[in-house]
Amino acid sequence: MLEISGVTRNFGGVHALSGVDLTVAKGGIVGMIGPNGAGKTTLFNCISGVLPVSSGEIRFQGTRIDGMRPDEISGRGLVRSFQIARGFPRLTVFESLMLYGTDQPGEGLIQSLMRGKASIDREKQLIDKALGIAERLRLSHVLDNKASDLSGGQKKLLEIGRAMMRDPAMLLLDEPMAGVNPSLVREIGERLVTIASEGVTIVLIEHQMDLISRLCDHVIVMADGKKMIEGTFDFVAGNKDVQNAYMGSRK
């Protein structure tokens, strides 16, 4: 579904990505782990078009997407979240969800001036969808709060909710559970499993190993801007190099 071959990205002299080759098959939750600075977030940035790649090729559902604008990539059903929750502090939670709605003709000038039927009808559909997503992510009671008033955990939930508004084929989630309290972490985890069971492929960057072992069918380990190894969690966790690079060597 997602094929990455030979992707590099340099920042000045620093090679944040030095030749990443990996393939993500359709379905399930894929974990992406690796020490800080391994290039996980940079890879997400390159896939989502936020950063151009220095070289290499990225294909999504067979189409080459490197070089496309972020909105074009998002329009193809590949949607990402941000590690440090980014969003629209001066919009309400509800408006933030609605913003991610697809195919709203009311975003054109004429439709907005005429309050055209097409845009009002679409708005109704999007409202239903947003309310459903808010319900599932337990955001219903904060819909009218400004996004900036949310707690860190709720912001993470909102990031997932916004992405869900686009009916994504693939979700790239950058540490959706960092800084979230444990009971909410369990909840988010369950939501992700449900979302994945509905046919959305999820790539998850995460540092909590118990989560990765519980949620992910397949784990990719990144180190030094490259893919180090991939496989099931147990296979990966048993690897000596991974233990040295990431989990701390046991004596």
Partner 1 sequence: MEIYIISMCVVAGIYAVMALGLNVMWGMAGLVNLGLVGSAAAGAYTSAILTKTFAIPIPLGIMAGAIVAAAVGAVLSLVTRRLKEHYLAIVTLGFAETIRIVASNEIWLTNGTDGISGIAGPFRADLTPFQYNLVYLGIVLLVLLGLYVCCQRISYSPLGRVLRAVRDDDMVVSVAGKNAQSFKLKAFSIGSGIIGLAGGLYAHYTSFISPDLFVPLLTLYVKLSLLVGGVGNNRGAVVGAALIILILEGSRFVVPFIPYISPAQGAAIRELFLSATLLIVLRFRVTGLIPEPHDHPVIPRPGTATAGTSIKAF
**Which residues bind to partner 1, rule: CB under 8 A?**
48-50, 69-71, 74-75, 79-80, 82, 86-92, 94-96, 98-102, 104, 106-109, 111-113, 115, 119-120, 123-124, 127, 131, 144-146, 162, 166
Half-sphere exposure in the Cβ direction for 110 (13 Å, CA): 1
Q: Which is nearer to partner 1, 19 or 88 (CB)?
A: 88
- Closest CB 66 distance from partner 1, rounded Å: 16
Q: How far is the CB of 148 from partner 1 (least distance, A)?
A: 9
204, 173 contact by CB (below 8 A): yes
> Least separation, in Å, of the C-beta of 162 and partner 1?
7
Closest separation in Å from C-beta 141 to partner 1: 12
Give whichever of 108 and 179 is closer to partner 1, judged by the CB atom.
Answer: 108
Best CA proximity match to 207, nearest among 171, 174, 163: 174
Closer CB to partner 1, 6 or 70, in the complex: 70
**Residue 158 C-beta: closest distance to partner 1, Å:** 11
Say if CB 219 and CB 233 are below 8 A apart.
Answer: yes
Q: What is the CA radius of gyration of the chain?
A: 19
E strand spans, 25-108: 29-33, 55-60, 63-64, 78-80
Q: Which of 212, 139, 227, 125 is nearest to 176 (CA)?
A: 212
Q: How far is the CB of 18 from partner 1 (least distance, A)?
A: 25
CB of 131 or CB of 229, closer to partner 1: 131
Quick one: 94 or 246, whose CB is closer to partner 1? 94
Looking at beta carbons only, is 95 or 224 nearer to partner 1? 95
CA 68 to chain centre: 18
Which pairs from 196-201 meet CB under 8 Å and 24+ separation? 196/27, 196/28, 196/29, 199/27, 200/168, 200/169, 200/170, 200/171, 201/1, 201/2, 201/24, 201/25, 201/26, 201/27, 201/28, 201/30, 201/169, 201/170, 201/171
Q: Which two tokens stand for residue 144?
A: 């009218």
Q: Identify which of 23, 5, 25, 28 has the alpha carbon closest to the alpha carbon of residue 193.
A: 28
17 or 130, CB closer to partner 1?
A: 130
Q: Give min distance, CB of 127 to partner 1, in A.
A: 6
